[in-house]
Structure 1
Amino acid sequence: MTLLRQRMLHDMQIRNLADNTQKSYLLQVSSFAKHFHRSPEALGPEDIRAWLVYLHEERKLAASSLCPAIGALRFLYRVTLKRDWSDEDFPLPKKPVRLPVILSFDEVKTFFDAIPSLKYRAILMTAYAAGLRISEVAHLKATDIDSRRMVIRVNQGKNRKDRYVMLSPRLLEILRTYWLDAHPRDWLFPGDIPGHPISADAIRQACDRARQRSGIQKPITPHSLRHAFATHLLETGTDVRRIQLLMGHRSLSTTSRYLRIATSTVCATESPFDLLPQPEPLPSPPAAPEYF
């Protein structure tokens, strides 16, 4: 490990950046240095610009994939190397705004009915019933299920924040059935490797198999269930601020995007088409002649 890499790692650890962020930033900077065959200390804004052009034009990376590379370089040069460079030296691409595809209540039920495994049914039901991220479901421990207070404790979710979410009585029944069948010790949903929780990839694969069995044409991922959780809460009258707390969003604007897809918002206004006078009925087409 070079001294610069070690110093950047220490800077990220001091600021308590998430482990995945640390790994991503180191990988991005390493790729940047290897591309030019030089230490990042010897590279400047023009090299950063050339690197971003290469990622966009040669590697065909989308805007969402360019942002981690830019974030890593910003951290390296501004924090670790203390370069007094402006935002213009790290241009962020404008990402297209896409709304998630939302499952209806009936589609969620159909999806759950297509999961034959009790373990994976419990995992994906927990993701929907509590609005958890895939990593948060995977890292639940048995002690996080508090049936006395009817809450689930989420330890160190995104941005290293703890929070509590509701424990659905129906979900509690499912988890108790799963507990009697699997008898998990430490992790609520253990993985194939002893002492480790289930992997995110295993959950994604189970989700994809269930989608195929269900026959639902909409895309379904574990995160789709989280989107459905927030949208269904909003459609049934839950306050946006309360949804923000349950989802663990840092900003209310992140939660507010569900206002654009909830039927309680989109369908609350009557279309002017419905206010038009009834048109005259269309004339009936002439009857076809009979030849036999």
Structure 2
Amino acid sequence: MDSANALVKDFSRHLREGRRRSQHTVRAYVTTAERFCSFLMEHLGGAVGKAELTALKQTDIRSYLAFRRGDGLSNNSAARELSAIRAFLKFVGGDDSQIPKIKGPKVTRGVPRPASPDDIVAIAGDIAESASSDWVGARDWAVLLLLYGSGLRISEALDLTGDALPLTDTLRVTGKRSKTRIVPLLPKVREAIEQYIDLCPHPMTLDQTIFRGKRGGPLSPNLIRRVVQQARGKLGISDKTTPHALRHSFATHLLAGGADLRSLQELLGHASLSSTQVYTAVDAAHLLDVYQNAHPRAG
């Protein structure tokens, strides 16, 4: 069976099980594949299956991108959708498939701005104090300190299980594509996690996540994003100070302290050094801010 729906379902399974992509990547790629197939049904005037997808021309894909531009799609988002379409068409046609060659839109690579340590502590403190119970406050405080203190992605922090206990001065983390790495666990961060564990009403077992929701299930990353957003608004802190920005801040402050890029690459779990090199621009921007604000002859 090679209907569009069946192919998209198989593509989703391929990304999850065969390629071991993150939930976020799977969701984004599958949504794009579904949208693309829906467009093609109207564009081609009929059902879409493997035969139609493997026979697509440049003009067909350009028509889709033009359609999406009408929805206000940015260059960066269009580039991501084109990447997803290429992956989908390669999956449908196999390794020998002839995918129409299209030059992607020019994208601007933004420089992530680091949050200041004071802002991070202020947000974490406000969230802890505003929590509905002591253990929830301790949980949220520990999660945010872990993101900043160890440079974890939010999914990596929330995927930690009881197998990581008891805590030591390092932590084994499973990142993208199921790759593991060792990150430092600072004493203050370890203490925060241990305090949360002491207060948590749910038992810690080897196969369950350490950070739990109120009912005992895995803690949702959206909950952490939401409480950070609420604290930001109350404290008047930039809306760019997101949970992921804490990871950027970890990297920037380490680089400013003299860490080399290769070590930083390992700590962040980047597959390519080019992903880490963006932080040289971050650090330069940070130093320029310091210079302009503090130097008597700046400007």
**Category of TM-score, reference length = shorter chain:** 0.7 to 0.9
Residue type of the partner of 2:40? F
Structure 1 residues 36-115: aligned runs within 5 Å: 36-37=40-41, 38-40=47-49, 41-43=51-53, 44-45=56-57, 46-56=59-69, 58-82=70-94, 83-86=97-100, 88-89=101-102, 91-115=103-127
1:130–1:166: 8 Å Cα contact kept in structure 2? yes
Give the alignment's TM-score, normalised by structure 2. 0.79
Alignment partners' CA distance in 1, 2:183 and 2:125: 24
The one-letter amino acid paired with 1:212 is G
Q: Is the 8 A contact 2:124 2:140 kept in 1?
A: no
Query: Given the superposition, is the C-alpha separation of residues 180 and 193 from structure 1 closer, same or farther in structure 2, using an over 3 Å criterion?
Result: closer
Q: Is the 8 A contact 1:235 1:262 kept in 2?
A: yes
Indicate yes or no: 2:226 matched with 1:205: yes
- The 3-state SS of whatever aligns with 1:261 is helix
Matched residue SS, 2:88: helix
Partner of 1:161: 179
% same residue: 29
CA distance in 2, matches of 1:197, 1:265: 36
Secondary structure, aligned partner of 2:222: helix
Q: CA deviation at 1:64?
A: 2.8
Count of matched residue positions in the alignment of Structure 1 and Structure 2:
268
Change (3 A) 1:166 1:51: same
The alpha-carbon deviation at position 215 of structure 1 amounts to: 2.9
Q: CA RMSD in A?
A: 2.9
Q: Where does residue 288 of structure 1 map in the other structure?
A: none
2:7 maps to 4
SS of 1:213's partner is helix
| Matched AA of 2:36 | F
The range that moved more, 46-55 or 112-121, is 112-121
Deviations 1:155-177 (A, max 9, x none): 2x123211121111111111111
State whether residues 167 and 190 of structure 2, in contact with CA within 8 Å, keep that contact through their aligned partners in structure 1. Answer: yes
Report the secondary structure of 1:177's partner residue.
helix
- Over 3 Å counting, the alpha-carbon distance change for 1:42 and 1:100 in structure 2 is same
Please report how far the alpha carbon of residue 128 of structure 1 lies from its aligned counterpart in structure 2 after TM superposition: 0.6
Match of 2:213 among 169, 180, 191: 191
Task: Give the match's secondary structure for 1:187.
Answer: coil
Q: Structure 1 residues 79, 153: closer, same or farther in 2, change over 3 A? A: same
Q: CA deviation at 1:227?
A: 0.7
- Give per-residue Cα distances to partners, 1:62-107, cap 9 Å, x unaligned: 2232234222321232332143135x33x32221121122222333
C-alpha distance in 1 between matches for 2:147 and 2:91? 36
In structure 2, runs of 5+ residues without a counterpart are 42-46, 130-136
Residue type of the alignment partner of 1:203: I
CA distance 1:66–1:54, change in 2 (3 Å): same
Distance in 2 of aligned mates of 1:4 and 1:265:
47
Cα deviation, 1:257-276, whole Å, max 9, x if unaligned, reads 11112259845xx99xx8x9
Give the counterpart of 1:151 among 155, 170, 174.
Answer: 170
Name which of structure 1's ranges 198-207 and 101-110 shifts more when overlaid on structure 2.
Answer: 101-110
What letter is aligned with 1:200?
Answer: P
Matches of residues 229-240 of structure 1 in structure 2 within 5 Å?
229-240=250-261
The structure whose Rg is larger is 1
Cα distance in 1, alignment partners of residues 80 and 214 from structure 2: 31
Unaligned runs of 5+ in 1: 277-292
